[in-house]
A and B are shown apart, each in its own frame.
Chain A
Amino acid sequence: MDAIHDLGGMQGFGPIPIATGDKDFAALADWEKRMWGLARSGVAQGVTIDWFRHGLERMVPSDYLSFAYFNKWCANYLMLMLDHGSITLEDVKRGHLLAKEAEAAPKSIDDVLASNAQANISFEGACDTPPAFAAGDAVRTLRIPPPGAHTRLPRYARGVEGRILAHHGAHAVPERGAEGKKDYQALYTVAFSAADLWGPEADPRDDVTLDLWEAYLVPA
């Protein structure tokens, strides 16, 4: 959906907040570090990467633009836990559960480093259809993305002609992942000239690449 998260190319923003936004992880506020630790711990159950992303996309738009990054994550994790049924809105308002469950077993630093080393998961899968495009092919993106509440075809790159740089095999389709389903489809890196994306104001030397699923593309 064309929601608030789709920021690429939007105009009106000011300078990049470099000086205020350059802290190392260790220098972040405690609540930010806790939020990241909770996220890595997997407190939202039954979540796919695209349902997680779509959850962020469905935030109250003004909150999406004004909240600090990990404050958005906090809202989204609470939403995901509510949606899953792990907690209720009354629990959130109370800040505690009425009946506590058995404590989870604590993990050590070695445990979590081992978990991290196994988190390099692949999103590739089987697809019966051979890829429709090959490197060098000219393609055009759709003006209207395929059906589904969640898409990874940004507004700024719709209805534009580009060139296939690489084929990456079949990857999990985000539209279906956000619905809790698994489907795999050819994924390509596609290069677009800056001029085709932004018009004559763009620098003719430059280009932008996006990683796009086959359903987003037609032959040019």
Chain B
Amino acid sequence: MATFDSENAAHLHRELHSHLPSDPALRVKTLESLAIERGLVAPQTVDAWVEAYSEHIGPKRGAQVVARAWLDADFHARLLEDAAEAIKDLGFQGSATGHLKAVANTDRQHNMVVCTLCSCYPFSILGMSPSWYKSAEYRARAVREPRQVLSEFGVALADDVAVRVWDSTAELRYLVVPQRPAGTQGWSEEALAAIVTRNSMIGTQRDLPLEAS
């Protein structure tokens, strides 16, 4: 069983640092070979997970959640009250959504999400996180200079808009609900979902153009 010994973990990492090939593809191949030969996983199972995250589990789920919240006031209220429960309406519950929290942008507040200590992310509704979200640059700067970070993403904030940065330091995971753009009256849930971007649900985009990107 696991030793849960911090110093052993550090010792083993130093050994791996000295003995593993530098090519990450070779390193992952080693890990996969050993896991398969130990009977811990079948290669087809790894294929299935790759397919799941390529085809099924992605930001389209979050976009549908947001679109429904725009259209359905009761769902919107339940989403803000208990997002982990509300997304079960759509069957999107899963990895890292057991304590999902939805936070809505308003005219006066912009929300932005980071995990400074690792890279926590609500995988089951947003899919794999973008690499920039996991970068040292974003993790270091998002909490200290969020406005400069937002400007790098092309976000310009009006003077009366406050920025709240949510640092996911526990098991809560955050979904930003962007504001519904003007000019979308009468749109279907599907049409609305098509304009909701992944970055807008992390909070590194604020205004949604009416043309899907």
Question: What residues of chain A lie closer than 8 Å to B164, measured between beta carbons?
Answer: 191, 206-209
> Are A180 and B130 in touch, CB under 8 angstroms?
no
Measured between beta carbons, the chain B residues less than 8 angstroms from A97 are 34, 37-38
CA distance A35 to B53 in the complex (A): 12
Within A27-53, which residues are at the interface with B (CB < 8 Å)? 28-38, 40-43, 45-47, 49, 51, 53
Q: How far is the CA of A84 from the CA of B50 in the complex (A)?
A: 26
Residues 189-209 of chain A, each 1 if its beta carbon lies under 8 Å from chain B, else 0 = 101000001100011011111
Give the residues in chain A near B56, CB-CB below 8 Å: 109, 113
CB distance from A214 to the nearest CB of B (A): 12
Cβ of A20 under 8 Å from chain B: yes
Complex alpha-carbon distance, A87 and B20, angstroms: 14
Please tell me if the beta carbons of A109 and B12 are within 8 angstroms of each other in the complex. Answer: no
Identify the interface centre among B41, B96, B147, B149: most chain A CB within 10 Å of its CB.
B41
Interface size class of chain B, counting residues whose CB lies under 8 Å from the partner chain:
35 or more
In whole angstroms, how far apart are the Cα atoms of A191 and B44 in the complex?
A: 45
- Among residues 69 to 108 in chain B, which have CB atoms less than 8 Å away from a CB atom of chain A? 84, 91, 93-99
Judging by beta carbons under 8 Å apart, are B24 and A82 in contact?
no
In this complex, the member of A108, A120, A168, A207 whose beta carbon has the largest number of chain B beta carbons within 10 angstroms is A120
Check B84 against A203 for contact (C-beta < 8 Å): no
Cα distance A80–B188 in the bound complex, in angstroms = 47
Give the residues in chain A near B185, CB-CB below 8 Å.
none
- Shortest Cβ distance from residue A33 to the other chain B in the assembled complex, whole angstroms: 5
- Residues of A close to B14: CB separation below 8 A: 60
Chain B window 125-155, contacts with chain A (Cβ cutoff 8 Å), 1 for yes, 0 for no: 0011011111111111101101101001100
**B182 at interface (Cβ–Cβ under 8 A)?**
no
Contact residues of B: prevailing secondary structure:
helix
Question: How far apart are the CA atoms of A75 and B9 in the complex, in Å?
Answer: 11
The minimal Cβ–Cβ distance linking A190 to chain B, given in whole angstroms, is 10
Structural contact, A78 and B20, CB atoms closer than 8 A:
yes
Contacts of B4 in A (CB 8 A): 51, 178-180
Scan residues 53-71 of chain B and give those whose CB is less than 8 A from a CB of chain A.
53-58
Contacts of B131 in A (CB 8 A): 17, 20-23, 68-69
B49 x A36 contact (CB < 8 A):
yes
The answer to whether A17 and B42 touch across the interface, beta carbons within 8 angstroms, is no
In residues 9-48 of chain B, which contact A (Cβ within 8 Å)? 9-10, 12-17, 19-20, 24-25, 27-48
B119 within 8 A of A: yes
- Residue of B15, B97, B169 most packed against chain A (CB within 10 A): B169
Which residues of B sit under 8 angstroms from A53, Cβ to Cβ? Answer: 117-118
Contact call A6/B6, Cβ cutoff below 8 A: no
Residue of A at shortest CB range from B114?
A8
Instruction: Contact check, B34 vs A81: say whether CB atoms are below 8 A apart.
Output: yes
A16-B146 CB under 8 A given contacts A21-B130, A46-B2, A75-B27: no
Contact status B168-A211, CB under 8 Å: yes
Beta-carbon nearest neighbor of B39 in chain A:
A101
Chain B residue at smallest Cβ distance from A35: B28
- Which A residues are CB-close (under 8 A) to B169? 152-154, 210-212
Shortest distance from the beta carbon of B82 to any chain A beta carbon, whole Å:
11
Can you sample 22 A-B contacts with CB below 8 Å? Answer: A16-B141, A18-B132, A37-B46, A55-B13, A58-B13, A68-B131, A75-B13, A84-B2, A86-B34, A87-B34, A89-B15, A92-B19, A92-B30, A104-B45, A106-B48, A109-B56, A117-B91, A120-B94, A154-B116, A156-B116, A208-B167, A209-B164
B-binding residues in A (CB < 8 A)? 1, 5-11, 13-18, 20-26, 28-38, 40-43, 45-47, 49, 51, 53-56, 58-60, 63, 65, 67-71, 74-75, 77-87, 89, 91-93, 95-97, 100-109, 111-113, 116-124, 149-150, 152-154, 156-157, 168, 171-172, 174, 178-180, 187, 189, 191, 197-198, 202-203, 205-213
Query: Which 9 pairs of residues, A with B, have the shortest CB-CB distance?
Result: A8-B116, A21-B131, A211-B170, A37-B46, A106-B44, A21-B132, A37-B49, A149-B6, A101-B39
